Structure 1
């Protein structure tokens, strides 16, 4: 992968990490290449990696990442902020 692509992914990952912090609840629309991940499946964001994949613990027991460039999903709820500004 060219250096420019790594830089682009790194910048994109920073934005995605802010937008989808740990504990964010999501609902799957479509996951590319995963026929056994049905639309409507809910899960909780575990973490976002350094290239912007959103790793989710799904209610069916699987732990697969979302790729924001090819998968569709929506946020159901965001983690509540603590008094000190950190999320759980």
Structure 2
């Protein structure tokens, strides 16, 4: 189970505020969005998952330290 400390959560929320654009490099989910897909951060939840509205219409969340992505 993925979880973060309060300090890590605050850092994630500062680093990825709502509206931040991200590009997926790879995702550990067989039904994830295609590599290279761009999306916009909606929120960072209380366990540190980054919820993204992808250009494909998907709302799948990223898990830092599991999924790979970059700001664009």
Q: Which has the higher helix share?
A: 1
Equivalent of 1:57 in 47, 53, 56: 53
Q: CA RMSD in A?
A: 2.0
* TM-score (norm. length: structure 2): 0.87
Structure 2: any 5+ residue segments left out of the alignment? none
- Determine the structure 2 residue equivalent to 1:82: none
Runs of 4+ deviating beyond 3 Å? none
In our comparison, the structure showing a higher alpha carbon Rg is 1
Pairs aligned (count): 72
- Determine the structure 2 residue equivalent to 1:40: 36
